[in-house]
Amino acid sequence: MGLSEGKRIYLSSPTMHGEEQQFVQEAFDTNWVAPLGPNVNALEQEMAAYTGCGYAAALSAGTAAIHLALKLAGVEQGDAVLVSDLTFSATCNPIAYEKAVPILIDSEPDTWNMSPVALRKALEEYPHAKAVICVHLYGTPAKLDEILEICKEYQVTLIEDAAESLSSTYKGKHTGTFGRIGIYSFNGNKIITTSGGGMLVSQEQDLVQKATFLATQARDPARHYQHSQIGYNYRMSNVTAGIGRGQLLHLEEHKKKKKELYQQYTAAFADLPDISMNPMNPDGDANNWLSCMTIRKGCLVTPNQIMDALDAKNIESRPIWKPMHLQPVFAECRFFKHTDEDISVGEDIFNRGLCLPSDIKNTSQDMDQIIQIVRGFFV
């Protein structure tokens, strides 16, 4: 039997180092297994120190963080919220929780993120929109200068969905720290994980305090259990925060390895005009959470063929996120395109793209195998 037979190559699976268990053990030793406790506080402080975000609230999921961000932005029933169209549904779902109205904004081709052109068009029609949620897709920073300027002009709150881009920077500053509110995710396949969890961050301490308050059932400061608002059970537990503290020690190392995978793919496909890698923002430094490729327009190879061929060798890959305007559940939403062409930028990327295995535990043999399978379609 060959060395790698029976082994699965993953898209992006958790990578643990040992320190995670020490922090978890501490939680057990001190019986801080209940929600909250020293690991939660420490993880918040360590994340704030690492990103420069100001203040941080550790939550049960990135989705919970987006939900609370909308509440902090004052989003109510019927309010327009402008949101990246090419993303995971978790970006968009919390808008529906609040019975607000998602307005979907196409991508631009340079970074695959929210198109400032489409954003401006949408705000001209919805000048009283309550919030903009901008995603940094696959870890690549969006065109933040342009987006911030437009948000300022229309006095609309920018929420950064940095779930995929923790450790990515734009002009030297961490993604997630540009908007009034930012969110990160520690879901299992993200660049670091707590097995499940998220964080809401802001430079405004009162906003983060409000988030923590809402996340702990909105309990008023009284001995008897008194509530003047509807709250949520969205806090992170002290056990999972321990995993996060151990992971955070290795975040830069994870980023470096992700970048190496992206560079290996880029070099391996450089001679093939039919393949392009997902674009980088020249003003940023991406974490390369997932390496993605697109197939040239007009080429007969399809993403499904490549995904099937990888799957046959027990190698995990994944389609590009299916744009929100193509989702049955969001089909009624207004959608603003980057150009007047029939097909939107996001749909075109979806049709021609796929996410390549980006697991930092991939060996060079694993990478050679993946590259050989993909190249086989084009040479």
Kindly state the smallest distance separating residue 12's Cβ from ligand PLP, in Å. Answer: 11
The mark string for 197-226 relative to ligand PLP (x by CB under 6 A, - otherwise) is -x----------------------------
Q: What number of other Cβ atoms are within 10 A of residue 49's Cβ?
A: 11
Q: Where are the beta strands (DSSP E) in 108-188?
A: 131-135, 157-161, 169-170, 173-174, 181-185
User: The sheet that has 157-161: what strands, in order across it?
Assistant: 55-59, 198-202, 181-185, 157-161, 131-135, 80-84, 101-105, 335-336
Indicate the residue whose CB is closest to ligand PLP.
62
Q: Which among 31-39, 58-66, 304-312, 336-344 is the span making contact with ligand PLP, rule CB under 6 A? A: 58-66
One residue of 23, 32, 88, 178 binding ligand PLP per CB under 6 A? 88
3-state SS, residue 277: strand
Alpha helices in 176-287, H assignment, sequence order = 205-215, 238-248, 251-268
- Token duo for residue 55: 């203040």
- Token duo for residue 288: 């390369």
One residue of 62, 246, 323, 357 binding ligand PLP per CB under 6 A? 62
- Closer by beta carbon to ligand PLP, 193 or else 369: 193
One residue of 61, 100, 103, 333 binding ligand PLP per CB under 6 A? 61
One residue of 12, 157, 185, 193 binding ligand PLP per CB under 6 A? 185
Phi-psi bin for 7: left (phi > 0), alpha (psi -120 to 50), beta? beta
> Beta 335-336 vs 101-105: how paired, if at all?
parallel
Residues 323 and 347: beta-carbon distance below 8 Å? yes
Helices (H) and strands (E) in the chain, counts: 12, 15
Give dist(CA 131, CA 144) in Å, integer: 15
One residue of 63, 247, 281, 358 binding ligand PLP per CB under 6 A? 63
Both ends of the chain: CA-CA distance in Å?
29
9 φ, ψ to 5°? -100, 125
Query: Which helix (H) or strand (E) element contains residue 9?
Result: none
Kindly state the smallest distance separating residue 170's Cβ from ligand PLP, in Å. Answer: 16
| Residue 159, amino acid | I
- Closer by beta carbon to ligand PLP, 37 or else 62: 62
- Closer by beta carbon to ligand PLP, 91 or else 344: 91
- Closer by beta carbon to ligand PLP, 107 or else 369: 107
Q: How far is CA 64 from CA 57, 114, 159, in A?
A: 11, 22, 13
The mark string for 143-182 relative to ligand PLP (x by CB under 6 A, - otherwise) is ------------------x-xx------------------
Q: Which among 59-67, 96-104, 105-113, 279-287 is the span making contact with ligand PLP, rule CB under 6 A? A: 59-67
Question: Is residue 87 involved in binding ligand PLP (CB under 6 A)?
Answer: yes
Number of chain positions touching ligand PLP (CB under 6 A)? 14
Kindly state the smallest distance separating residue 78's Cβ from ligand PLP, in Å. Answer: 24
Spatial CA neighbour of 278 closest among 291, 259, 263: 291
Kindly state the smallest distance separating residue 319's Cβ from ligand PLP, in Å. Answer: 14
Question: Is residue 287 involved in binding ligand PLP (CB under 6 A)?
Answer: no
Question: Is residue 135 involved in binding ligand PLP (CB under 6 A)?
Answer: yes
Question: Is residue 362 involved in binding ligand PLP (CB under 6 A)?
Answer: no
Question: Is residue 111 involved in binding ligand PLP (CB under 6 A)?
Answer: no
Kindly state the smallest distance separating residue 184's Cβ from ligand PLP, in Å. Answer: 8
Residues 102 and 81: beta-carbon distance below 8 Å? yes
Q: Where on the chain is the footprint of ligand PLP (CB under 6 A)?
A: 61-63, 87-88, 90-91, 135, 161, 163-164, 185, 187, 198
